[in-house]
A and B are shown apart, each in its own frame.
Chain A
């Protein structure tokens, strides 16, 4: 307290404490999931243009739809759609995690870690399940 008074009375500028920068932190799972939540959100934002393309292609007619199907079936298209699926499911699970926190549950260290782990493991597992079901559905009646 004496220090503070001394510095304020003399008017000397002291180095103010600033919040630590991102690069100072050791990467933690909860922190990585927070960053990934935002990145997947931004990626999905632009990915929604694909949804508009798909719907417009269906509405435009068989030729436009064939063009979309060609893209969706190409290697790049498949990678983009797989990435979109994972980003969507990861953002969805991350959202559930945030809603759990909003209800004031899951703040204990072990719970936080478990939720973060469940987000990444769950998103990868669900993405694979969705794609397997998707491929199986494609083999079904047209």
Chain B
């Protein structure tokens, strides 16, 4: 135990490498669960909205998706789901990709994909809502 601080959970090697908990160990888990619970009603609402829209004309879909309540529910669903899946994919990458460069690339790709899908979806809904 030479050189190891009292109450230190990390091994000596971990301390030297500077790896280990950064006082945010449970945040990832907690955010995953919060978005999971919020996702239950939002996903059910999303499914109901999609069922209500299938087979309708373009004009009708534009009108319904652009109406305030539907648009707000869709935006909440998208933001909640994208944060949830960003956390989830990060976990998958950290579990399976161990090579540093590839890992960082995959994590960056995760963030880029989520932002691209999120902004595209949110922009489309806002455009329909504001009718521009």
Please tell me which one of the listed residues A42, A88, A99 contacts residue B43 in the complex, with CB atoms under 8 A apart.
A88
Are B120 and A52 in contact (CB-based, < 8 A)?
Answer: yes
For the complex formed, measure the closest distance between the CB of B127 and the CB atoms of chain A, giving whole angstroms.
Answer: 5
Given contacts A48-B81, A95-B36, A96-B40, contact A55 B65 (CB under 8 A): yes
Classify the secondary structure of A's interface with B.
Answer: helix
Classify the secondary structure of B's interface with A.
Answer: helix
* Interface set, chain B 89-128, CB cutoff 8 A to A: 89, 92, 113, 116-117, 120-121, 123-125, 127-128
Size range of the interface on B?
35 or more
1/0 per residue, CB under 8 A from B, across A27-70: the answer is 00000000000100110110011011001101101100110000
Which residues of the other chain, B, contact A42 by a CB distance below 8 angstroms? 88-89, 92
Given contacts A65-B61, A92-B43, A137-B51, contact A99 B37 (CB under 8 A): yes
Are A51 and B85 in contact (CB-based, < 8 A)?
Answer: no
Given contacts A41-B85, A52-B117, contact A99 B33 (CB under 8 A): yes
| Candidate in A52, A96, A139 with the most chain B CB atoms within 10 angstroms | A52
Of B2-10, B15-23, B52-60, the stretch lying at the interface with chain A is B52-60
Are A58 and B65 in contact (CB-based, < 8 A)?
Answer: yes
Q: How many A-B residue pairs have CB under 8 A?
A: 86
Which residues of the other chain, A, contact B117 by a CB distance below 8 angstroms? 48-49, 51-52
Give the complex CA separation of A77 and B54 in angstroms: 14
Are A133 and B85 in contact (CB-based, < 8 A)?
Answer: no
Size range of the interface on A?
20 to 34
Given contacts A41-B85, A45-B89, contact A59 B124 (CB under 8 A): yes
* Interface set, chain A 102-134, CB cutoff 8 A to B: 102, 130, 133-134
Give the complex CA separation of A142 and B85 in angstroms: 34
| Candidate in A44, A48, A96, A138 with the most chain B CB atoms within 10 angstroms | A48
Give the complex CA separation of A58 and B85 in angstroms: 24
For the complex formed, measure the closest distance between the CB of B75 and the CB atoms of chain A, giving whole angstroms.
Answer: 11
Given contacts A55-B124, A137-B52, A137-B54, contact A44 B92 (CB under 8 A): no
10 interchain residue pairs of minimum CB distance: A138-B55, A55-B124, A59-B124, A52-B120, A62-B58, A65-B58, A59-B127, A52-B121, A52-B117, A45-B85
